[in-house]
Chains A and B, each alone.
Chain A
């Protein structure tokens, strides 16, 4: 049940030739961002490289200077033994210090980068407009913040070692040139070979990794959606169907990863074989030169030895190179989020009044992203300070959209939205939420305590919290919860009943003492008697509030000074309830539906009884 239409354009596989260059740029950027740990790690790596080359040298030196004489003399002094032990341990200390510095600081750099990018990515999630969120599946966003960030910076694990290896190569290369330039050139031909192999590898690998990483996100997407739908899946017994859906994606991912593995499977043995073949070539040519008398046999041996100690480290270079396509792909996917435009722009105006807010919409038009037909068509609405306006309209007529526009959760395409006469776009960030509160149609609870869900992390004395709970008619049941205000209510408030959640959401808004309160069908899950009590409480507490209420129920509508009737995103009529009832057919049909129904039912019953 995937919907390609609604998922966002995914970064295309990058042009393959550029992969290496771009990968190096990503790495370079990361190294600059983590200058200190990277420097320490590289220094450690250099120590390690020096010690590795040094170990071989030390053993050679000790053999020549201490062991051979001792064997020749058939006796050994304690001092000699201490020399052997001391020299080797000294080299070892350098080596181990190098390894620890290298690996610990490489790890620190890598995870710092991951944490840094996760912060940036999640900041974007919090900044980007709701329309952007609509266009991106949650699972994909989850994957961007986790798997893709990880993929980008995993390369930092083998990186310092590779840098150490380069250092080793420089040492070894210099020594080779000193021994015999011709042989050295021959030997160093290995590197263009490695480079060419790598280029081919990157080219083949990049699209495959891109696909695998995309599928990783899709697997997360299916899982996330499916687990969110858990109750529906179970209630309708569709577990098999969901498993099939997950299976299809999982198998695609499996096949993609096997393909990636196949590519790596070729690359690694090749990278490993090239230096060995180089050694053999050096031996062959060296022997030929020795037989011609151009070279000492010992030189060839030393050359071969230099090559052999390089064989393993060169593989580390291969690991970094093998990680690069993954890193670039992860980076691209993360950048797709980081570079997304369209966050809301804020002005610098502030709201200074303390009296109830006034709200005014003039000629507002709004179309949801990707829709041709506007959802809201030229709506003008005036909510005077301290007034109560009811918004009524059939299902899907645009009431919630209008409520969101009033609070600038979305920006109007045309027209103006004002609060206290100030254009909403000109307000500084945080001004609007500080003055106006929305009780959304669909309540959202955080996995937190009751208190945390009401204050949303701000400081508050319990008295104020209880007061708002009282107005929302939630004090009684909160008191009966095991830990009262400190009861954790589970993800999305799962341990509460629907009506309880709705009342907590109401209390959350009331607690803020907003100057404008927008209630979007906020009592739909509450029974009529409780609703009455809530409305009465609001009326009493309302002294300082302007209220916009979306409602179907007459009791709520009757609280309003003015009723605005909406159809298909346009205002059809507005006035008092009495006026509208008299002159607006659609409105009358809507609000009187129940009583008409009851009357008709009664008539039918009477007929039945009569006959």
Chain B
């Protein structure tokens, strides 16, 4: 399989381009829990709403026909009414409680699922795609962006349904009382609908901007936290503070801006409600004076108008909240819908048997997105049981080669084959078991030493762990640590020295026991004596195993079966150390300079 052209790697979408409706649909689809038992919740909410409408009605009855009954207050009637009202209050409260709890449960379950999906998908994205966004901003996609949605899914969506129901109910009653006045109300409503429709996209954009500012903010803060040492060392606290302040200010502005727009939406709703009342009273008075309406009917109608405008106002609020939620959703969906371009073939994937491994690079080209080719027409065959050293100048493409070899990236052109199978067809589970990379910049978790070494094989027993450490000759180091294997390594492993971190990364890969071990300058910070010791141990253990080591210290190349010399993206020399030294080419020069450094002592 060979694709032409440069590699097209996807970028993480700032936010998905879906419309509001499509975003909501997709959102609900991603969080199926939101729909579970929804109808019962709606039913209960309707009960609560009816209760809220009935209570003032009963109270009104009690005053009109009880207290103000002709011929003195009717105590019995009032008490009955109070009893009924109290009963309704109880039912309403219970229904409301049930609604609240059900909504909270559905919302939080749904959002937890959404968080998980986004998190998992971010890990499924290729390393190149991941690096198109700052880590802090990625964190915001699974934290605050999701939190933004919660308000809406907890109350908003349901209130929208209930409000609609109330609007329908009020409309029917209004029409029954006075079709003319009902028409007047709807006429007043019309401009509001137009206005809200115009405001919606504006609000959507504003809230979208807020979400992006939050991402920027977290990115800037995270840089200051992770880069604390550098910032101290160069005394650039002030400059960093300025950068952070910029992000804080941008967020403040956009948040206030969005909120002001939402206030305008609300205020227009309020204006509508007020104007409607005024117009209804004016028109109603005219009708009443002509005898088309009694005074009682007019006053009752005013009550209905209130019943009608309340949910309309509520709806404008919810639409605003919805735009906020949609902005959060779009960011989360944006990341979930970013295609994972270095994807696991999954169930169709080939599962390879374990054992000695053969690697073939066939006409491999690679270019980073938007850049010149970094690897050009690389052909390389690595036989089983070979120890390969890859050397070359900085920036020549060694790490790129290693990443293609372990399928962290796919070639732009050509193919990498493992035992004859294109890497793109090998299932990830099988691939990661057989091939392990120790990257140039390793990463340790905030855990103890044992936990970190076990990372790739949590099921390894204590004996296996101890054996691996002994075999690598690291036992004296581990024993020298204050708490041995239980030593906490701190954040990113920062409580260890740089060399110690590399030792842990090697032990981790070693315990994983792959068929092909790829070491990308894995011992660059380790002292020479320890390096030689670890190297020997690995050598002894890697006989039988295939290994590829990238190193600037040419001691590694001296010990290898095959030396691959990369220069400006091409393999320029290939062969055993002694042969290449004899050729007097690039490698011979490099080695001379290395040897000169060594012997000058």
Contacts and interface: CB of A to CB of B under 8 A. Distances in A.
Interface in A567-605: 577, 581, 589-598, 601
B239 A235 contact: no
Contacts of A297: 67-68, 73
A372 B487 CA distance: 13
B92 A269 contact: yes
Interface stretch (A132-140, A326-334, A382-390): A132-140
A482 B508 CA distance: 38
B221 interface: yes
B594 A528 contact: yes
Interface in B470-491: 477, 482, 488, 490-491
A300 B397 CA distance: 88
A207 interface: no
Interface size class of B (residues with CB under 8 A): 35 or more
Interface stretch (B1-9, B15-23, B195-203, B495-503): B495-503
| Residue of B134, B232, B399, B458 ringed by the most chain A CB atoms within 10 A | B232
B211 interface: no
Interface string A489-519: 0111011111110110000100010000000
Interface string A544-577: 0000000011110110000000000000000001
B385 interface: no
Interface residues of A, number: 189
Interface string A416-452: 0000000000000110111001101110101100000
Interface string A124-156: 011100100110011101110111000000000
A85 B283 CA distance: 10
A15 interface: no
Contacts of B89: 273, 276-277, 280
B112 A495 contact: no
B63 interface: yes
A103 B320 CA distance: 14
A279 B433 CA distance: 72
A224 B139 contact: yes
B235 A433 contact: yes
Contact of B555 (A130, A261, A527, A597): A597
B79 A594 contact: no
Contact of A269 (B93, B229, B497): B93
A67 B439 CA distance: 85
A396 B263 contact: no
Contact of B252 (A115, A277, A280, A440): A115
Nearest to A7: B446
A191 interface: no
Contacts of A9: none
Interface stretch (B116-124, B174-182, B414-422): B116-124
B445 interface: yes
A265 interface: yes
B240 A134 contact: no
A198 interface: no
Given A89-B274, A146-B214, A231-B408, A287 B221 contact: no
Interface in A319-365: none
B343 interface: no
A351 to B, nearest CB: 13
A324 B75 CA distance: 43
Contacts of B100: 261-262, 264-265, 268-269
Given A59-B281, A107-B260, A223 B143 contact: yes
14 contacts: A1-B447, A84-B282, A122-B224, A225-B446, A232-B442, A234-B408, A242-B123, A243-B120, A280-B59, A283-B81, A409-B233, A499-B395, A555-B596, A557-B601
Given A224-B222, A440-B233, A525-B524, 11 more contacts: A76-B286, A112-B252, A216-B143, A269-B100, A273-B89, A373-B482, A434-B235, A491-B135, A528-B554, A530-B394, A554-B601
**Interface pairs A-B: 5 shortest CB-CB:** A237-B432, A261-B104, A499-B394, A433-B235, A265-B100
